[in-house]
Amino acid sequence: NAGVTQTPKFRILKIGQSMTLQCTQDMNHNYMYWYRQDPGMGLKLIYYSVGAGITDKGEVPNGYNVSRSTTEDFPLRLELAAPSQTSVYFCASTSWGDHTGELFFGEGSRLTVL
Amino acid sequence: RKEVEQDPGPFNVPEGATVAFNCTYSNSASQSFFWYRQDCRKEPKLLMSVYSSGNEDGRFTAQLNRASQYISLLIRDSKLSDSATYLCVVNQAGTALIFGKGTTLSVSS
């Protein structure tokens, strides 16, 4: 069972470069999220989506963009990378229909901006 | 006031000890509450949901006090394998889960 799959697992970017973190889930979950986690800190919500075609900003959306064209995929776009975006990025999904609230996470994407 | 605040930790305890973590949340309209566990350099995983009446899962007991906006996690008979970071998580508006910074537990033999 694949669950939530994130790619790439590791990436080094130069300042000003752009890239897309890919996230796909095969559980038919309607809700998907992108979080970032800085060393020694909790997870901060970047963007989330409650279904295909719908996205909303979280706590720290600046410098990022998302799209949700299908239920399965929720890519995160970084434009003009900055050192402050060095972090571990987690994609997660859930189906609130069962009210358990369990988030299923990908293994994370470790991004370094130099 | 931060939305979800946890004990700063770290907690260093011997095997067999009982340890309690506390968490407070700022939004009184929060509806759902959870404890997640995160191992070093891994993704968080759900440990247990927290219900109004309190709930227990083996050595783990979670409590919720809505009046005080307070959540707790009690771990009895700590094991080496309990060493991890424990994240308090609160649901707001039914869509986005807000995470605390986490409390690190280190269990030693």
Residue of A nearest to B44 (CA): A105
Strand partners, A35: A45, A90
CB-nearest to B96 from A48, A106, A107 is: A48
Q: What is the pLDDT of residues A65-86, one digit of tens each?
A: 999 999 999 999 998 999 999 9
Residue of B nearest to A5 (CA): B43
Q: Around A70, how many Cα atoms within 13 Å sit in the side-chain half-sphere?
A: 10
Q: In the prediction, which pLDDT does A37 show? A: 95
Interface list for A 12-71 with B (CB within 8 A)? 31, 33, 35, 40-45, 48, 50, 56, 58-59
Helix, strand, or coil (residue A35): strand
Q: What pairing do the DSSP bridges indicate for beta strands A109-113 and B55-57?
A: unpaired
Give the pLDDT band (50/70/90) at residue B27. confident
Q: What is the pLDDT of residues B50-83, one digit of tens each?
A: 988 889 999 999 999 999 999 999 999 999 999 9
